[in-house]
Amino acid sequence: MSAADQESGGLGIDPMHQFEVTPIIPIHFGGIDASFTNASMWMVFAAIGIISLTVFAMSGRAMVPGRWQSIAELSYEFVANMVRDNVGKAGQSYFPFIFTLFMFVLFSNMLGMLPYSFTTTSHIIVTFALALFIFIGVTLIGVVKHGFHFLSLFVPKGLPAVLLPLIVVIEVISYLSRPISLSVRLFANMMAGHTMLKVFAGFVIGFLGAGGLFTGLAIAPIAFMVAFTGLEILVAFLQAYVFAILTCIYLNDALHLH
Amino acid sequence: MPQLDFATFAPQLIWLTLVFGVLYLVMARVALPRIATVIEERRDRVADDLDTAAQLKSDTDDAIASYETALAEARTKAHSIAQETRDRLTAETDAHRADLEGQLAARIADAEKRIDATKTQALTNVRDVAVDVADAITQQLLGDSDRAAAERAVDGELT
C-alpha cells in the first residue's frame, strides 16, 4: 500500500495512478527507450484532433462556414489576434508556432478531461521541454536580431546607477526562471486538478463501500466533482491561453527589447 | 510521483518532438495557409459586395434626385400654365365686362337723350297748349286777342 493509498483512506485508489506512463509498443534504439506509450498515444490523439479540426473541417472552404469550420476559423483568429496584439507585425512569421503550441496544449488539456484518458501536459518533462524550447528559441531570436544589444533587456531604462547591479541580477534571474515558471505553472495546474478529482472520486467509492447511512453522503463529493469538472475545463483552456500568451510576451521582449 | 520517473523521460521527449514537429509542419504548410485563404477570400467577397451595394445605392440616389428635379419642373410648369390661364381668363372677363358696361352706358345715354327729347317735346306742347288756351280765353273774355302777347305771357310764366 503506497502513501497515496493511505491519503485516500486506504481504499486501494491511487490518485497518482492516472499519471503513470506505460509502454504500449516497446521500441528501443541503441539503448535509448523510444517506446510508444500511453502518453505518446494521447499526444498523437491531440495531433489528430487538431489536424481534423484545422485541415478536414476546412476542406469545404465554404464561403459561409459550418460549425466545425467556424471553430477552426475562430481558433485561427483568436491566436492571430493574440500574436498581433502582443508581438505586432514582427510576430507574423512565428504565428504558426504559437498556433501549434496553443492548440497542442489546449487539446492535451481538454483530452485529459475525458475519463480514462491521459493528460500529457500533466508531466513536467513535457511542459519543461516545451518551455525550454521556447526559452532557447526566444533567446536565439533576440541575440540574432540585436546582437550584443540584446543584453539591454536586463537593464531597465532610467535606472539610478546605484541600483544597477542589484536590478540587473534580479532581471537575469527572472529571465532565467522563465522556462521553470512557464512549465511548472501548466504541469502543476493539470496535475493538481486531476489529482483532486481522483481523490474525491475515491471518497464517493469509500462512502458507497461503507454502506448504510454513508451511502447517502456520497452525493456531496459527486456534487463537488461536477462543479470541479466545470472549473477544470476552464483551467484547461486558461492554462493553454496563458502558455501561449506568455510565449507571445517573451517573443515580444526578444524582438523589440523594452 | 510518476512525473519524476526518469525512465519515462526519453520516450516522452522523443514522441513529443516527433508529434509536435509533424503537427507544426502540417499547421504551417497546410492548415494555416488554407484557413488564411478562406478568411481572406471571404473578406474580399464581403468588401466587393459592400462596394456593389454602395454603387447601387448611389445609383438609386441619382435616380431619386433626377425624379425630384423632374417633379419640381413639372410642378413649376403646372403653376405657370395655371397662372397663364387665370390671367387670360381674367383679361377676357375684364374685356367682356368693359364691353358690356360700354354698351349699357351707350344705351343709358341714348335713353336719357330720348327722355330729354320727349321732355322738351312735352314742354313745347305745354307752351303751345297754354298759348292756345290763353289765346282762347282772352278771345272769349275780351272778344279780341293778341297771340303774341299770350305767347309772351306764357313764356314769362314758364321760365
CA A90 vs CA A15, A72, A254, B30, B37: distances in Å:
45, 24, 11, 22, 20
- pLDDT for A179 equals 95
Question: How far away is chain B from the Cα of A58, in angstroms, using its nearest Cα?
Answer: 7
- pLDDT for A210 equals 81
Residue A7 binned pLDDT confidence (cut-offs 50, 70, 90): very low
Q: Which residue of B has its CA nearest to A133?
A: B17
Higher pLDDT: B80 or A12? It is B80
- B129-140 in b/e form (b: 16+ CB < 10 A) is ebbeebbeebee
A103 burial level (CB within 10 Å; 0-12, 13-18, 19+)? buried
Q: What is the mean pLDDT of residues A12-30?
A: 83
Question: How far away is chain A from the Cα of B78, in angstroms, using its nearest Cα?
Answer: 54
Chain B residues close to A122, C-beta within 8 Å = 3
- pLDDT for A12 equals 59
Question: How many other C-beta atoms are found inside a 10 Å radius of the C-beta of residue B116?
Answer: 10
Is B22 in contact with A47 (Cβ distance < 8 A)?
Answer: yes
- pLDDT for A135 equals 96
Contact in structure between A42 and A111 (CB atoms under 8 Å)? yes
Render A223-247 in DSSP notation, one character per residue: HHHHHHHHHHHHHHHHHHHHHHHHH
- pLDDT for A1 equals 36
Q: Would you say residue A11 has pLDDT above 60?
A: no
Q: Would you say residue A4 has pLDDT above 60?
A: no
Mean pLDDT of chain A: 88
Is A100 in contact with B24 (Cβ distance < 8 A)?
Answer: yes
Is B3 in contact with A77 (Cβ distance < 8 A)?
Answer: no
Q: Would you say residue A10 has pLDDT above 60?
A: no
Q: Would you say residue A226 has pLDDT above 50?
A: yes
For the stretch B108-144, pLDDT in tens is 999 999 999 999 888 888 888 888 888 888 888 887 7
CA gap A176, A196 in Å, rounded: 31
Is B27 in contact with A50 (Cβ distance < 8 A)?
Answer: yes
CA gap B84, B95 in Å, rounded: 16
Q: Give the ipTM.
A: 0.87
Render A173-210 in DSSP notation, one character per residue: HHHHTHHHHHHHHHHHHHHHHHHHHHHHHHHHHHHHHH
Chain A residues close to B22, C-beta within 8 Å = 47
Residue A3 binned pLDDT confidence (cut-offs 50, 70, 90): very low
Of B1, B7, B34, the CB nearest to A16: B1
CA gap B74, A247 in Å, rounded: 72
CA gap A102, A80 in Å, rounded: 11
For the stretch A45-97, pLDDT in tens is 999 999 999 988 888 888 888 889 999 999 999 999 999 999 989 889 999 99
Question: How far away is chain B from the Cα of A258, in angstroms, using its nearest Cα?
Answer: 29
Chain B residues close to A130, C-beta within 8 Å = 16, 20
Question: How far away is chain A from the Cα of B46, in angstroms, using its nearest Cα?
Answer: 10
Q: What is the mean pLDDT of residues A165-190?
A: 93
- A39-55 in b/e form (b: 16+ CB < 10 A) is bbbbbbbbbebbbebbb
Of A35, A77, A96, the CB nearest to B27: A96
Residue A129 binned pLDDT confidence (cut-offs 50, 70, 90): very high
Percentage with pLDDT > 70 across chain A? 95
Q: Which residue of A has its CA nearest to B21?
A: A100
Is B35 in contact with A76 (Cβ distance < 8 A)?
Answer: yes
Q: Of A208-212, A233-237, B91-95, B119-123, which gets the smallest average pLDDT?
A: A208-212
Is B38 in contact with A99 (Cβ distance < 8 A)?
Answer: no
A157 phi and psi angles, rounded to 5 deg: -70, 150
Is B3 in contact with A125 (Cβ distance < 8 A)?
Answer: yes
For the stretch B14-72, pLDDT in tens is 999 999 999 999 999 999 999 999 999 999 999 999 999 999 999 999 999 999 999 99
- pLDDT for A5 equals 42
Is A33 in contact with B20 (Cβ distance < 8 A)?
Answer: no
Cell of B5: 520517473
Of A43, A54, A124, the CB nearest to B27: A54
Is A40 in contact with B38 (Cβ distance < 8 A)?
Answer: no
Q: Which positions 6-45 of A are in contact with B (Cβ < 8 Å)?
A: 16, 19-21, 23, 27, 32-37, 39-40, 43-44
Please list the residues that pair with A28 across neighbouring strands.
Answer: A33
